[in-house]
């Protein structure tokens, strides 16, 4: 993977670009220091559907599934989504603020969206992630570390523990750290 000027990945057989309208500018002078790992599946527990992209692009048909009533008028995004096959879709430039973390805090610093990059893995808290997802996540992490002064990686549950549980107990932090060659001091999942 290659990150281009402007915070977008270069297109490849493993990367697609689908710009979301759900972003804004980061506060002036903000350094991007945090990766946040999430999981998502829509409907919950179902994979390989078009609904995640539809959600991030504000096109989800809330009548397509009863659970989607929970998503009515929701405006969210992540910088990246990695599906079960390891394909990466970028929705927001890394230089911009995606709307993925919500009310959040890392070491007393609130509003993690301001200084983070959000990566969604297609999955659930309880189901194992795929080898291809770990490989793509590690490759993407390496690419991002070359361009941004990343010092921490956390699960969504680490920065919003009262609200979130993802990426869940099924995410293998040690495997990720080894594949991404991420320093152990940066990984402090609960």
Q: What is the DSSP string of 100-122?
A: -S-S-EETTEE-GGGGEEEEEEE
Q: In this structure, what is the dihedral angle of CA atoms 55, 105, 116, 61, given to the nearest 10 degrees?
A: 0
**119 pLDDT higher than 60:** yes
The pLDDT of residue 182: 84
**123 pLDDT higher than 60:** yes
The pLDDT of residue 91: 98
Which tens digit of pLDDT belongs to each residue from 147-183?
Answer: 999 999 999 999 999 999 899 999 999 999 999 998 7
The pLDDT of residue 5: 85
Mean pLDDT of the chain: 94
* Residue-level length of the chain: 190
- The residues assigned a catalytic role are 120
Domain covering 15-186: architecture: 3-Layer(aba) Sandwich (3.40)
Supply the angle between the helices 173-180 and 131-147 in degrees, to the nearest 10: 50
Q: What angle do CA 77, 117, 59 make, to 5 degrees?
A: 10
- DSSP, collapsed to helix, strand or coil, labels residue 140 as helix
Which tens digit of pLDDT belongs to each residue from 82-111?
Answer: 999 999 999 999 999 999 999 999 999 999
The pLDDT of residue 170: 95
Could you state, in order of their start, the residue ranges of all structural domains in the chain?
15-186
The pLDDT of residue 186: 66
The pLDDT of residue 185: 65
Work out the burial of residue 1: count CB atoms within 10 Å of its CB; fewer than 13 is exposed, 13-18 middle, 19 or more buried: middle
Pick 46 or 190 by higher pLDDT. 46
**7 pLDDT higher than 80:** yes
């Amino acid at each position: 993977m290659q990150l281009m000027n402007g915070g977008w990945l270069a297109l490849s057989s493993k990367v697609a670009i689908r710009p979301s309208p759900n972003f804004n500018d980061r506060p002036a002078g903000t350094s991007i220091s945090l990766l946040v790992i999430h999981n998502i599946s829509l409907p919950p527990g179902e994979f390989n559907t078009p609904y995640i992209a539809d959600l991030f692009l504000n096109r989800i048909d809330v009548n397509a599934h009863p659970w989607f009533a929970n998503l009515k008028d929701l405006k969210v995004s992540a910088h990246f989504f990695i599906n079960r096959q390891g394909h990466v879709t970028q929705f927001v430039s890394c230089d911009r603020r995606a709307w993925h973390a919500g009310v959040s805090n890392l070491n007393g610093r609130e509003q993690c969206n301001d200084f983070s990059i959000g990566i969604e893995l297609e999955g659930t808290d309880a189901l194992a992630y795929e080898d291809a997802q770990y490989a793509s996540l590690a490759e993407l992490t390496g690419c991002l570390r070359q361009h941004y002064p990343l010092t921490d990686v956390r699960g969504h549950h680490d920065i919003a523990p009262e609200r979130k549980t993802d990426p869940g107990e099924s995410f293998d932090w040690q495997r990720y750290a080894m594949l991404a060659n991420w320093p152990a001091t940066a990984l402090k999942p609960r």
